[in-house]
Amino acid sequence: MPSYPIDMNVKPDVKAFFDPMTNTISYVVKDPQSASCAVIDSVMDIDYAAGRISYTHADEIIAYVKKSKLDLEWIIETHVHADHLSAAPYIKEKLGGKLGIGSKIKVVQDTFGKIFNEGTEFQRDGSQFDALFEDGDTYQVGTMTCVAIYTPGHTPACMVHVMGNAAFTGDTLFMPDGGSARADFPGGDAGTLYDSIQKVLALPDDMRLFMCHDYGPNGRDIRWETTVGDEKKLNIHVGQGKTRDDFIAFRTERDAQLDMPRLIIPSLQVNMRAGDVPKDPFGRKMLKVPVDSL
Ligand SMILES: [Fe+2]
């Protein structure tokens, strides 16, 4: 396993924003030594039935960054989300910052470019983003060195981002009583997800872990923060030394019973374009529905 440049003495301030429509948690992460910050996994609101987009959730984040007088340096997507739309371009327009995602976005663009029958104007080279991270790549948020760890399985482009003693897991892990995310989307793989989770569990036990989603299993309140130590002890899908074979068998059976996420069709089309809504030949914002292909 590669060793990553991690400094547990750096303790960023983490402010969470929960979106109840999609059960997504977005984060503003502030360098403890400066006013620099990053935004992770923002949400654009959509009324899918009406085809209407709005920015209530993103505006909350923007207001917080402005009120706290922070400089936004990076807008990070942990992966191409299939359950909510990214507000990255809107936040970038208002606050600046560079937009980064895993380099395997190109694989996701190729897969879904075919499914959505996109034309040649849809670039499949990740050029819609400012930065494409490889495993172990670092970037700065003020004085804080952040590292992207490649964690495929849920999707081919997933990455966990470590900032000081905080790691943002995307959908590679859920809270201990939530277990793990599905691995059955095109390009997903349960065994690969298990291997990626082991990379996260190899981080220091007191590393704070911040989830991208929580669904409040068994009626508990929504929570989003845990630690590597607690995941190792308590995670219902991978904790207490569950084997790779156990995980693959369980995950495959469970995934076969899951419905597609409500917003998968608009989410993929928007998120594979770095949050831009596609346009028809007349320049009008327009989404497609591929029939019987997901
Ligand atoms: Fe996801």
- Find the domain containing 178 and state its range: 13-271
Report how far ligand 1's centroid is from the alpha carbon of 192 (Å): 15
Report how far ligand 1's centroid is from the alpha carbon of 54 (Å): 21
Query: What CATH number is associated with residue 71?
Result: 3.60.15.10
Residue 112 falls within a domain, yes or no? yes
Residue 276 falls within a domain, yes or no? no
107-144 per-position pLDDT tens digit: 999 999 999 999 888 999 999 999 999 999 999 999 99
H helices within 147-263, ranges in order?
A: 190-201, 228-234, 244-256
159-176 per-position pLDDT tens digit: 999 999 999 999 999 999
Across 188-207, average pLDDT: 97
Report how far ligand 1's centroid is from the alpha carbon of 70 (Å): 28
Distances, alpha carbon 106 to alpha carbons 83, 125, 272, 282, in Å:
19, 5, 9, 27
Which residues neighbour ligand 1 (ion) by CB within 5 Å? Answer: 81, 171
pLDDT value of position 117: 93
Domain count, the chain: 1
Distances, alpha carbon 4 to alpha carbons 83, 188, 199, 236, in Å:
30, 24, 11, 27
18-30 per-position pLDDT tens digit: 999 999 999 999 9
Distances, alpha carbon 159 to alpha carbons 101, 165, 259, in Å:
8, 16, 24
Residue 144 falls within a domain, yes or no? yes
pTM of this structure: 0.96
Q: Is residue 1 predicted with pLDDT exceeding 80?
A: no
Residue 20 falls within a domain, yes or no? yes
